[in-house]
Chains A and B, each alone.
Chain A
Amino acid sequence: MRILLIDDSKTMRNIQKSVLKQLGYNELEEACDGQDALNKIGSFKPELCLVDWNMPVMDGLTFVKTFRQTDKSTPLIMVTTEAEKSRVIEAIKAGVNNYVVKPFTPDLLSERITETLAKCGANS
């Protein structure tokens, strides 16, 4: 399964990579902001994206809205420090399938990824 990690923090991308590798996912690509992600989507064709919210150049919410204009089905998980209910609702309305608040434990992230893939029928 191809998974795109979108976060301006390399540290956070590395933590996510480590969790995903433990889950057996090795086809991973990284993007440092929403625009970088949009540039990579055409060639990488992700089957799941983990998206941060606060990023320079293009934030995660703008990325989700832009991405959803052409792709309604690829699962998106927002992984962010934005924990307010209003933000979660805003992200879900924009088209994310699940939401993880930082800080998170590896177990929680694993759980949300597995749950999202199962719900979206994309687990392989």
Chain B
Amino acid sequence: MDASYITPFMTSIQNVFSTMFQLPVEIGEPRIKTESKTTHDVSGIIGVSGEMVGTIVLSMPSDTAESIVALFTGMEMGADTDDFADAVGELINMISGNAKAEFQRKSVSISCPSVVIGSGHRVASSSNIPCVLIPCNTDCGEVVLEVAIREATESVSTTSSSTAA
């Protein structure tokens, strides 16, 4: 995968977290993800279409996600509430939207976000699109961005679905 498709997501998560709730993000070493399950049990998911296709997932452990959502919304809320899912969805929406603006001269659209909560769930996308896992350390704990996108001209069909284990 072209590194220029990954760097915008690193910058974007730092920008979103620092602008919206002053939480610094330290980016770890990106790697190709080989395991099929998401890294953690809370996933915010965005589909990408247009001249680029694929999926972007913000994966967080529940306790980390609850701390981040509390900073973002100014309210404590459990992972089982609608408002919690809404906040996680808005985070991945901002991260993806911000990053896609860096894809110069490409017309790219993002979907409305989906949020899946539950241990061991899997977010499926085309197996032909490699997924790059970007570990991000924060004072609230580790979060992970999983970026599986590529140019649509490579004619790969993208189906995206999520299943709870």
Tell me, yes or no, whether A binds B.
Answer: yes
Which residues on A are within 8 Å of B, measured CB to CB? 8-12, 14-15, 18, 54-56, 80-84, 86, 101-105
Number of interface residues of B (CB under 8 A): 24
Q: Is the CB of B73 within 8 A of A9?
A: no
Q: Is the CB of B93 within 8 A of A54?
A: yes
By secondary structure, the B interface counts as helix
A105: B residues at CB distance < 8 A: 19
Q: Is the CB of B16 within 8 A of A103?
A: yes
Closest partner residue, chain A, to B82 (CB atom): A10
Q: Is the CB of A81 within 8 A of B98?
A: yes
Output the residue of A9, A55, A81, A101 with the most chain B CB within 10 A.
Answer: A81
Output the residue of A56, A84, A86 with the most chain B CB within 10 A.
Answer: A84
A10: B residues at CB distance < 8 A: 82-83, 86
Q: Is the CB of A103 within 8 A of B98?
A: yes
Q: Is the CB of A11 within 8 A of B98?
A: no
Closest partner residue, chain A, to B110 (CB atom): A54
Closest partner residue, chain B, to A18 (CB atom): B74
Q: Is the CB of A11 within 8 A of B97?
A: no
B90: A residues at CB distance < 8 A: 9, 11-12
Q: Does B55 contact A (CB under 8 A)?
A: no
Q: Is the CB of B112 within 8 A of A83?
A: no
With known contacts A11-B83, A11-B87, A82–B19 Cβ distance under 8 A: no
B112 in complex: contacting residue of A8, A14, A18, CB < 8 Å:
A8
A8: B residues at CB distance < 8 A: 112
A101: B residues at CB distance < 8 A: 98
With known contacts A11-B83, A11-B86, A81-B96, A103–B110 Cβ distance under 8 A: no
Q: Is the CB of B15 within 8 A of A81?
A: no
7 A-B pairs with C-beta separation under 8 A: A11-B87, A54-B93, A54-B110, A82-B101, A102-B97, A102-B98, A105-B19
Q: Does B54 contact A (CB under 8 A)?
A: no
Q: Is the CB of A103 within 8 A of B19?
A: yes
Q: Is the CB of A56 within 8 A of B86?
A: no
